[in-house]
Structures are given as C-alpha cells and as structure tokens.
Structure 1
Amino acid sequence: MDPSTRLLMLTHRFPFPPTSGDRIRSYNLLRFLASQYRVSLACTADEPVSDQQLSHVREMCEQVHVCPVGGVSRKARAATAFARGKSLTEGMFHTPDLHKRVRDWHQRDPFDFVVVFCSSMYPYVDHPDFRVTPTIVDLVDVDSEKWTQMSVESVVGKRLVYAVEAKRVRALERRIAEQASSIVLVSDSEAELFRQVVAPAASVHGISNGVDTEYFCPGDQSTPAKEAGSTSVALRLVFTGVLSYPPNVEGISWFCEHVFPGIREQFPVELEIVGRSPNARVQSLAAIDGVTVVGEVPDVRPHLHHADVAISPLKLARGIQNKVLEAMACELPVVVTTRSAEGIDAISGQHLLVADNVAQWQAAIAELARQPNRRAVIGKSARQLVVSDYSWPARLSKFLDLIPDPPAAKSLSSPS
C-alpha cells in the first residue's frame, strides 16, 4: 500500500447513501480503497444527488464527477444501444460527458490503476488510453446468467428481450475477461460460475460482501420471546429489499400468495414488507390479511428489531444477499431459499434455516414460531458468524492482493 498511488473508481450509481445491495457494496469498497489510496470517483446517477450526499463522498475522494442518467433520455440511450447490437444495460449508463471527463483526468495525471464496479461501466475504460493501466473489474454477479434465468422464468412478452440481453451482456463479460487484470465476483460459487459459462481461463476471485456489525446490531431484548399461538401476540415476519427489483418482487409475491395464507391458518402471524420503490404488484400484497407494505424508511433497523423472523424467499437471486447478512447481524433468525443463502458460509439449522418449497417454508416458520428459545439460539449463532467472518474490512482486504504495488503500476502506466 502506498498512499501516493492514484486510483480511478467507476460506479454505475452514486454510492451514497448505501440503501440498496449495489450501493452497499460500492460504498464500502470506496470507503475502504479511499483509506489506502488517492481515489477519484466517476459515476452515473439515476436519482438526484443532494449537496450533503456529494459532500460526504468528496471528503473521501481526491475528485468526484457525477453524471445524471435518469429520465426519458436513459430509455432512449438504452434503445439506441440495443439497436446498435449492444446491451440495454450499456446504453442506460452511457454518457459522453463521463467518457470525456475520465479520459481528461487520465491524460492530465495518469492513474496507477482502475477499479470498475459492474460491467456497465467497463466501456468507459475500454479505450487505448487505458490499455496499459491495470484494471480490476468487480462484476458482483454474473449478470448474463441472471438475464438468462429471467428469460426462462418471466412472462412470454419479456422473454425474447431478456434472452437477447443475456447474449449481449455475456459478450461484454467475455471482453472484460480478455482485457482486465482481474475480475471479482461476490462469492466463490459465483466466480466458479463465471469460469464455467463465460471464461474458463480468466483471473477470477470471489470476494463477498460484509456488514457493518456496529450499525446492524441486536435491538432491545428486554421483552421475552413468546410462543406463537400461546397468546394473542402474532409472530412478526419481516422482508427487506428494493421493492421494484424483479427477483425481490417475484420472491415476496410468491411467499405472500402461496406460503403465507397456510401459515395464518396455523397461528397468528404478521408480515412487514420494507423497502424503497414498491411497484404496483408489491403494493397489491397489502390486500392480503396480515401483510403490511411499509415501503421506504429512513432506517431499516427498527423494523428488524421489531421482528421475530426475517425472510428471503428469492428464487432468482445471484450472489450474496446483504439483507440476509444485516438481519443475521441483528440477531434475527432468518429463513431463506437456497439461492438467498448463496455465498454465505452458514449451516442450515445452526445459523439460519433453508426452505425452497411451500411445505418447507411453512414447516420452518412454524418451527421458529413454536420454539422461541430456538429462535434466540439461531439468532445468536447468526450474529456470531457475521461478526467473525463478514466484517467489511476483513472481506475487502482481499482486494489489496489484486492491486499491483506502486513501482509496477507506475511502470505499466508509462508509455513504452
């Protein structure tokens, strides 16, 4: 580590506040790298960025440039990219202004290395000016595989678009594999999937998400846990996540429509659905008895502290789920699908419970409802695992092994 080393970081969304999965990872990665190097941040933003938010990030960085990409123009760029044979994703996050700013920065004072967050930002450095600059690309997930899954499991009208998007994102991932110094994904299993379906010989590394265990910690435990059904107090379930994100929408809708009614026939139970941007389908779930769609909140922790059990019934999940780690850090027992548990080295029955079909879900929640002591034991084991293995510094320190030391970086950045 050399504090004089200059790093360019590219993100597809402004990383603060860390209110969604991609922002949580990109913000903590930015904060970690800024503690080690001189970081310049260039990013697009599909939502307004306040002066306070910008000021917070500028305190960490040498320079910051944000380009808005929201609104109608975003859809137009996506359509143009699609018509030209590129992915919709590339078009949505393309802006000439950011291309120019990144090249101007690099020509004026060359960066020693680059960290690209998500494949959609790679085109900004897919340029001769950066050919000899070591570049680490954090893909997070194998996005092409996500689009492939969605093309199979979505409604007929969207399948063709999703299938074409999967093919084009896969081509971008292969180009990245050929050119980048290293590729990072959110888990070892996701890294192995990348080798299998994208590039067998690529330099690929699994670096999972972490969690801020001081921020996400147990709430007031003064009220003793009670067995569901023994009193009028209902078992309280909570689901958190961005409520316009298709895997979240599909997962929580499936749970509410197929799992939840059968649970309510056995004992009193309530469900809070918490998160930003609930779409019409999610909002309609509030019509189901016992379901409350809370929507966006300034702080999700009170809702985690109020709950008895957290759930993550995702079937299309890719990579590690921040919401699962956050609930575990709050000492909540969590019931998850196999997909939602991916990337977390947890043992079902000890740190969480895994369920994939309706019967398994109903049995797992009934077990936790009727055994408050078991809820407490699993919750404590969950937090112990997160504290010991999933702090952000412990997880992200692996990035340092991928970054060339300054002399090597300087020589590579110089013209031959």
Structure 2
Amino acid sequence: MGGDILFLAHRLPFPPDRGDRIRSAHVLRALAEIAPVHVGCFVDDDANRAFEGELAALAASTCVITRRKPLPLAGVEAVLKARPISLAAYADARLSAWVQEKLASGRFAAVFVFSGQMGQFVPQSWQGRLVVDLCDVDSAKFEAYARNARGPMARIHAREGRLLAQVEAALAARADHTLLISEAEAALFASRAPQARSIQVMGNGIDADYFAPDTVKPAAGMVGAGPHLLFTGQMDYPPNVAAVVCMARRILPLVQRDVPGAQFHIVGRAPSAEVRALANIPGCTVHGAVADMRPYLAAADAVVAPLAIARGVQNKVLEAMAMARPIVLSAEAATGIAAEHGVHFAIGGDDAHFAAQIVKLLVNPPVARAMGANARRFVTENQSWPAMLAGMPAFLGMDREEARSAA
C-alpha cells in the first residue's frame, strides 16, 4: 500500500535529549525511510524552534505550533467539556485544520500518532491505516499520582486517570495497532481496553555507539573526592523529583554511614524548587541542565534510579547501561528490561536494602566494573534501535520500496 505518512507528536522530536523525544525521533527517522512523512507537532516555547531545521530535513512538510495555553485555562476547558486536562492542554484549531487539509488531499496511506494526546486530531472519518504509540499507559500513571496525593490534587489526578483511560480505550478501538513500550505495559493496557483491535510491543532502543564509555572524558564537576552517585532525568517530572528526594534525604545518609565520602549528583533540566533545595544536604549537588549527559555518566561510580512510579522502559537506565555504569534501581525502574539482577544491574528494595546494594558496589570496584561491562554487553546485543523498529513497515501495512516508488 503506497502513500504518505502523517506523523503527529505532542513535542517536536528534536533534540532527542529526553525519553519521549528520543523515542519519537527514532520512530520518525524509521517512518521517513518507508515513505514521505509529514509532521504536525508542538513546541513548548520559541527557543525550541531552533531545532525545526532537523525536523525539516526529514519531513516532506511540517506544522509546528507553539503551545501557549496556560494550564488553568486548559483545566477550565477540560471541566466544561468533560475531557482530560492533558487533551485540553493540546487542543489547537490551527493544527486540526492542517491535519484536515492534509488528509483531504487523498495522498496519505497512514497516520502515526505519538502519544495519546494527539489522537484528538485524527478525524473520525479517517479510513486509512492508524497506528497509535501510547508508549505507556498514562491513565495508570495518573491513578498512581492520585494514590500518592492528598486533598484536591488527589481528586484532580483521579479524574484525569479515569477520563484518560476512556480516551485511550476509544483510540485503541479505532487503531489498527496500539503500541506499548514493554510486555508489562501491553498486558496492563489489554486488561483496561478489551476493545483494542491490536496491542503490540515496540520497546525502546539505545544508540550504543553514541552512549559508549570511551567516547567522552568524565565531567570535571564529578572528578575528585567521592565515590560519585548519579541520577539523571527531567527534574520537574514528579516521579523523578520524588526519586531524588528519597535518595538525598533517606538513602544517601545510609550510604555515607558506610562510605563517608559518597557524593550524590542530580543532573537534568528544570530542577524544581524541591530539587534545588537538596543542594543544602551535605554531599548532594544539583547540576541542572547539561549539554551532554555522557561525561556525567562516565564520571559516575554508580548510577541510581529509586523510582517509585515508572511507566514503560526507562531511557535513563538504558543509557547508563550502555555507558557501562553499574546501576542500582527500583523494581519499578527495571520494568521492561529483561536483564538480570546481580549481573546487569542491582535491584534495591526499601531504603536500607537500596543503600546496601549501593555500598556493595562502592566497596568492591571489581564487582562494579564487571556489572557495568555486563550491562553494556546486554544493551548492545538486545536493545538496538534497528531491532526495536524492525516491525514498523508491518504495523503500517507498507513496504519501503513500494511506498517510496508510489511517492
């Protein structure tokens, strides 16, 4: 089946420097190899538009909208229309008109929706192929937020989870294929959306040539007294915030009791006020955004990921594994990665157990080095992006050569 592809994403895929953009950038590149691809997406601010050139180099046409709707306004719209806030936040007449115009041309064979928020732009009249990449089950994430919140926020999160679950299920009932990031997420979604036509797993990959321990020098800010522990991620994202607060305030003191020089480094953009306050804790440094995460990974004696809420596969874990770092992580953060505890990473339980797993690595460098080497070997053999995306033509019902020649 020949024809163009329409790709809709809630964020411009470039630069691929955070989990969703890494996945969407690789998906977009794979789509562009199959057929001409037209991209509709949002940017959070005008500064992000600096990366439109990378998008234009791949896409046959684009519609990039700066998302300026304040969250309170999105909340009011959501209440008035009985829909999730996360959909109201992305509702945009300009993008909707662009999508309608494109699909009316008759040249499109498939629509690829990246993230559930973007399904609202696919008209009910669309009869072509529809593939939806939910990545993970967002509604379940909001349900988890509700369980961990109190007062009005608990009710807001519960409402969001309930309404978003309905949207996800309805979208999956329309889609030829709904993609999830792991077997666990796929099984969870299947239990919540029995009307889904086809639920498939498309895992996250890793560029092991880019994330390689011999490609960069260790970051100067992490060289010297230590050992050094590292957490990476978007630092205004609530699960990441909760993880580093737990690490700095509860786990780090336990580690320092046995390894007095242990230092904890938090690296990632947009640290919240709660995260910035952790810099007042002895041995804790908040670095904020950095141009390249690899030097910090290279400098780390161990990487930690004590996430209590973690949906899908954690790119931060795959990146650390590719950089041959020993990792201590929660069972939640290990979800979707078919690696072995004690061989490729160490899974920690409660605070004391998590700290003990870290100490075990810090006081035994040969064991830590062996774990890092095993981790890199695992991702190079099992988690390459080409392997993860190999099923893309089949999902779209398109053959690369047929689609390109038809275009």
With the shorter chain as reference, the TM-score category is: over 0.9
* 2:34 and 2:393 in contact (8 A); partners too: no
Q: Indicate the residue corresponding to 2:221 in structure 1.
A: none
- CA distance in structure 2 between the aligned counterparts of 1:62 and 1:251, rounded to whole angstroms: 41
- Which among 180, 184, 209 is matched to residue 185 of structure 1? 180
Structure 2 CA distance for partners of 1:391 and 1:236, relative to 1, 3 Å: same
- Residue in structure 2 matching 1:264, options 238, 256, 264: 256
Rounded to whole Å, the distance in 2 between the matches of 1:75 and 1:205 is 35
Q: Per-residue deviation at 1:174?
A: 1.3
Answer whether contact 2:313 2:333 (CA < 8 A) is retained. yes
Matching residue of 2:108: 111
Query: Distance in 1 between the 2:285 and 2:131 partners?
Result: 42
Q: 2:374 aligns with which of 360, 366, 381?
A: 381
SS at match of 2:308: coil
CA distance in 1, matches of 2:286, 2:124: 46
Go from structure 1 to structure 2 and tell me whether the alpha carbon gap of 1:50 and 1:405 turns closer, same or farther (over 3 Å shift): closer
Match of 1:228 in 2: none
Aligned to 1:95: 92
Q: In structure 1, what is the Cα distance between the partners aligned to 2:158 and 2:31? A: 36
Map 1:156-195; keep pairs closer than 5 Å: 156-195=151-190
Question: Which residue of structure 1 aligns with residue 200 of structure 2?
Answer: 205
Alpha carbons 2:34, 2:398 under 8 Å: kept = no
Looking at structure 2, the residues matched to 11 and 376 of structure 1 have their Cα atoms a distance apart, in angstroms, of: 39
TM-superposition CA deviations, 1:292-338 (whole Å, max 9, x none)? 00000111111101111011110011000000000000000111100
- How much has 1:211 moved relative to structure 2? 0.9
Read off the aligned partner of 2:318 and give its amino acid letter.
L
User: What is the correspondence of 1:190-269 to structure 2 with a 5 Å cutoff?
Assistant: 190-199=185-194, 202-219=197-214, 233-267=225-259, 268-269=261-262
**For residues 79 and 327 of structure 1, what CA distance do their matches in structure 2 show?**
41
Q: CA RMSD in A?
A: 2.0
- Superposed displacement of residue 53, structure 1: 1.0
Cα distance in structure 2, aligned partners of 1:284 and 1:222: 29
Q: What whole-Å deviation, never above 9, does each CA across 1:238-260 have from its counterpart, x for those lacking one?
A: 10000000110111111111111
SS of 2:63's equivalent in the other structure is strand
Matches within 5 A, 1:314-329: 314-329=307-322
Shift of 1:86: 0.3
Q: Residues of 2 paired with 1:339 and 1:273: CA distance?
A: 19
Distance in 2 between residues matched to 1:260 and 1:80, nearest whole Å: 43
Give the corresponding residue for 1:334.
Answer: 327
Shift of 1:222: 10
Letter in 2 for 1:47: D
How far 1:50 sits from its partner (Å)? 5.0
In the alignment, is residue 307 of structure 1 matched against residue 300 of structure 2? Answer: yes
Q: With a CA cutoff of 8 Å and minimum separation of 6, indicate the structure with the bigger relative contact order.
A: 2
Quote the Cα distance in structure 2 between the aligned partners of 1:20 and 1:194. 24
2:216 and 2:295 in contact (8 A); partners too: no
* Match of residue 270, structure 2, among 260, 273, 277: 277
Distance 1:23 1:78, change over 3 A: farther
The one-letter code of the counterpart of 2:380 is: V
Quote how far apart the aligned CAs of 1:51 are: 5.5
Alignment gaps of 5+ in structure 1: 224-231, 411-416
- Asked if 2 retains the 8 angstrom alpha-carbon contact of 1:12 and 1:120, the reply is yes
From 9, 13, 16, the counterpart of 2:14: 16
* Distance in 2 separating the partners of 1:282 and 1:113: 42
CA distance in 2: counterparts of 1:377 and 1:103, whole angstroms: 54
Shift in Å, 1:200: 6.1
Q: Does 1:396 align with 2:389?
A: yes
Return the alpha-carbon distance in structure 1 between the equivalents of residues 58 and 398 of structure 2. Answer: 21
TM-score, normalising length from structure 2?
0.93
Equivalent residues of 2:69, 2:89 under 8 A apart: no
**Separation in 2 of the partners of 1:285 and 1:122?**
39
Match of 1:413 in 2: none
- For residues 341 and 406 of structure 1, the distance between their equivalents in structure 2, rounded to whole angstroms, comes to 35
Counterpart position of 1:59: 57
Asked whether the equivalents of residues 174 and 197 of structure 2 are also in contact (C-alpha less than 8 Å), the reply is no
Paired residue secondary structure (1:114): strand
Give the total of aligned pairs: 396
Structure 2 gaps, min length 5: 219-223
Task: Write the deviation string for residues 259-280 of structure 1: whole angstroms up to 9, x where unpaired.
Answer: 1111112111001100011000
Contact 1:14 1:23 in 2 (8 A): yes
Q: Counterpart amino acid of 1:24?
A: I
1:154 aligns with 2:143: no
TM-score under structure 1 length normalisation = 0.91
Give how far 1:5 is off: 3.1
